[in-house]
Amino acid sequence: MEFIDEELLRYSEEHTTGESELLHKINRETHLNVMKPRMLSGHLQGRLLSLYSKMIRPHQILEIGTYTGYSALCMAEGLQEGGTLHTVDKNEELEDRVRGYFDESGYGKQMKLYIGNALEIVPTIDAVFDLVFIDADKINYGRYYDMVIDKVRPGGYIIADNVLWSGKVLEKYRKKLDEDTRAVMDFNLHVHQDERVENILLPVRDGLLIARKK
């Protein structure tokens, strides 16, 4: 489901700061060589993540769901000097590609890539996070949120992607209520009812839920 007229989307992108050469390369190579390229954050959402990171000026970032590294590199643009971005993904087949992009970016020394189950890896990371980006399997969104909320500093942010799930959060846009859709809907409600945060759900791309810890 597209949430905005294609010409308006193109107009928005034309009036948004462009991708770096490396991000453009990642975008192109992901679409040419990697399965499910729609998982890439892409130009418009990538610039939004970059701006949020630059506003927050995080020292510690956590990303759950690396894919080909596009969103991680966007958020790395706002890292403080000496800061670290931790990113976790279960797909070991993409590891060499992602590490290559990180090294090429100039942020390589600030990027820590973990391959494996985020539910097992994240609790072992000794850090208090200023910014968390969740963009992994939808079934575990609620578990990821509950796992990281106490590791986020007061005033820190959690951003979750795909929270409109191609519109299937609304009954009129789905044929059946599958597990992933139910998980996304439960997650959105869980965060909205969590008194520890203030939140906004933005209809950008496939939906971004942004929660600020009080």
- 């970016």: which residue's tokens? 105
Tens digits of per-residue pLDDT, 162-189?
A: 999 999 999 999 888 999 999 999 999 9
CA distance 209 to 115: 25
Mean pLDDT in residue range 41-52: 95
Give residue 1's pLDDT: 63
Q: Which fold has domain 6-213?
A: Rossmann fold (3.40.50)
Q: Where are the domains of the chain?
A: 6-213
Mean pLDDT in residue range 93-118: 96
* Between 5 and 210, the higher pLDDT residue: 210
CA distance 129 to 96: 26
**Percentage of residues in the chain with pLDDT exceeding 90?**
89
Give residue 144's pLDDT: 98
Q: Using the predicted structure, report yes or no on whether residue 213 has a pLDDT greater than 90.
A: yes
Residues 6+ apart with CB under 8 A from 69: 26, 87, 97, 98, 101, 102
> 86 falls in which pLDDT band (50, 70, 90)?
very high
Q: Map residue 203 onto helix, strand or coil.
A: coil
Mean pLDDT in residue range 49-72: 98
Token pair for 155:
């005033």
Do the Cβ atoms of 156 and 131 come closer than 8 Å?
yes
> 119 falls in which pLDDT band (50, 70, 90)?
very high
